Amino acid sequence: MKTQLDPLPMKMKLLLSILILSLIGINSKAQEALFGAQQIISPEIHDDSSVTFRFFAPSAKSIQVTGDFLPTVKIESPMGEMDGPGKAELTKDDKGVWSFTSEALSPELYSYSFIVDGLKTTDPNNPFLTRDVASVTNVFIAGEGQAALYRVKDVPHGTVSRRWYDSPGLGMDRRLTIYTPPGYEQSNEKFPVLYLLHGAGGDEEAWIALGRTAQIMDNLIAQGKAKPMIVVMPNGNVIQDAAPGEGSEGMYKPAFMIPKTMDGTYEGSFKDVIKFVESNYQVKADKADRAIAGLSMGGYHTMHISRYYPNTFDYMGLFSAAIMPREDATNSVYSDIDGTLKTQMDNGYKLYWIAIGKTDFLYDANKEYRAKLDTMGMPYEYVESEGGHIWRNWRVYLTQFVPQLFN
């Protein structure tokens, strides 16, 4: 019988049921999960920002959850004792559903994995994942406050494009990610540009996925805290044309490739990126409207690019920058670091912003670098945060850096 709540005729219902089942990648265990257990929600984020993690595994002997929402613990490694993510034990109910509820979490985007009988695995009930180098983990956002900047809010949204540009300096077409602010396409205005660089093991997907750049920019612009701007996220690995899986190398297991990406080639060819952007977008092509920032290796690139092109950027952001000795490097990009830094200083700029966490392994290198800048009399602003070399810090730094630009 047809009612208001039941508007579908039987034949259609049958078709729909078959459709649903045929579209789900069914196997016997999935069926078990589908029909034998209740519909599992994981992670379930409660009103107080505590989070319940659940995993259906009647036969498992132990399940843990590990992630950056838990306090770090000391772990042994071949490099000595290090900080590692903590773990928490799940407990099993009589239906075979394991669960663990966290304490109330501070507002943040968190990542986590399960460890089932000793094996790390993703959460089959959470389809939201991010890749960091070769590791894929689930993510969730808890709370408002700072975390509200990472959410898709009901505000005007910019456009995110993956686009290819010609790099004569590297002899290939290369892929980049570009954010244009809300209204860009309808506007005749020209916009300022932030070049935002990833770290070692990252690529043109890192800032947009792990860094939540589009959400941060949409929200800061909507709140009037950031000027509408274009954000360009290039690929800093000079031996690849695009992120793993997105380029002509096909799908392969990503790895670090630091030596090739910190040998001066990227800095030397960075003009290709700027030229592409300034020829293809409505941008203000002057120093006052160019900013460059990056995390870790991207902070290193920011430092070197901005002094190598010493009158190009008015705003620099070094987020947990991998400051490294380059005295014996052969590329001419590094041949006169002190001289070009001094030229950059003499040319003047609006902001040289350095941020690092107190427990970052690059803390001392940054301290030495600041001492060098102090000796030179090169002005900078410095922010010291809690924590180490982690995405949480880099997202926060971005939200702190961007409001200072183009004012």
94-133 residues in contact with its own copies (CB under 8 A) are 111, 113, 115-122, 124-129, 131-133
CB 217 within 8 A of CB 226: yes
The helix/strand/coil state of 39 is coil
Shortest Å, Cβ 332 to its own copies = 15
Report the residue from 17, 38, 223, 311 that binds its own copies according to the rule CB under 8 A: 17
Task: Compute the distance between CA of residue 213 and CA of residue 298 in angstroms, rounded to an integer.
Answer: 15
Output 63 or 351, the one with its CB closest to its own copies.
63
Q: Is 389 in the site for its own copies (CB under 8 A)?
A: yes
CB 364 within 8 A of CB 389: no
Tokens representing 380 are: 């900078």
Q: Is 85 in the site for its own copies (CB under 8 A)?
A: yes
Output 134 or 239, the one with its CB closest to its own copies.
134
Query: Within its chain, how far is the Cα of 183 from the centroid?
Result: 24
User: Tell me, what amino acid is at 270?
Assistant: F
List binders of its own copies among 147-166 (CB under 8 A): 151-154, 156-157, 159-164
Shortest Å, Cβ 340 to its own copies = 20
List binders of its own copies among 222-251 (CB under 8 A): 242, 244-248, 250-251
Place of tokens 């190398």: 249
Shortest Å, Cβ 350 to its own copies = 30
**Backbone region of residue 212 per phi and psi (left: phi > 0; alpha: psi in -120 to 50; beta: other values):** left
Output 113 or 344, the one with its CB closest to its own copies.
113
List binders of its own copies among 245-284 (CB under 8 A): 245-248, 250-251, 253-254, 256, 258-259, 280
Q: Segment near its own copies (CB under 8 A), from 56-64, 219-227, 265-273, 393-401?
A: 56-64
Shortest Å, Cβ 324 to its own copies = 5
List binders of its own copies among 293-332 (CB under 8 A): 296, 322, 324-325, 328, 330
The helix/strand/coil state of 373 is helix
Task: Compute the distance between CA of residue 244 and CA of residue 29 in angstroms, rounded to an integer.
Answer: 31
Q: Which of 5, 96, 100 is nearest to 44 (CA)?
A: 100
Q: Is 92 in the site for its own copies (CB under 8 A)?
A: no
Q: What are phi and psi of 78, to 5 degrees?
A: -60, -20
List binders of its own copies among 178-207 (CB under 8 A): 182, 185-186, 199-201
Q: Segment near its own copies (CB under 8 A), from 18-26, 100-108, 221-229, 334-342?
A: 18-26
Q: In what order do the strands lie in the sheet with 44-45?
A: 44-45, 51-56, 97-101, 91-92
Place of tokens 């695995």: 121
Q: Segment near its own copies (CB under 8 A), from 20-28, 311-319, 340-348, 396-404?
A: 20-28
Give the binding-site size for its own copies (rule: CB under 8 A): 110
Task: Compute the distance between CA of residue 318 and CA of residue 294 in angstroms, rounded to an integer.
Answer: 6
Output 19 or 288, the one with its CB closest to its own copies.
19
Q: Is 286 in the site for its own copies (CB under 8 A)?
A: no
Task: Compute the distance between CA of residue 232 and CA of residue 28 in angstroms, rounded to an integer.
Answer: 46
Q: Is 38 in the site for its own copies (CB under 8 A)?
A: no
Q: Segment near its own copies (CB under 8 A), from 46-54, 80-88, 189-197, 232-240?
A: 80-88
Shortest Å, Cβ 151 to its own copies = 6
Query: Within its chain, how far is the Cα of 275 from the centroid?
Result: 25
Query: Within its chain, how far is the Cα of 387 from the centroid?
Result: 17
Q: Is 5 in the site for its own copies (CB under 8 A)?
A: no
Report the residue from 36, 38, 48, 84 that binds its own copies according to the rule CB under 8 A: 84
The reply to whether omega before 43 is within 30° of 0 (cis) is: yes
Q: Segment near its own copies (CB under 8 A), from 71-79, 100-108, 222-230, 265-273?
A: 71-79
Q: Segment near its own copies (CB under 8 A), from 46-54, 57-65, 232-240, 350-358?
A: 57-65
Task: Compute the distance between CA of residue 236 and CA of residue 256 in angstroms, rounded to an integer.
Answer: 12
Residues with Cβ within 8 Å of residue 102, at least 6 apart in sequence: 50, 51, 52, 53, 69, 70, 88
- Helix (H) / strand (E) element for 270: namely helix 265-280
CA atoms lying within 13 Å on the CB side of residue 85: 19
Shortest Å, Cβ 188 to its own copies = 14
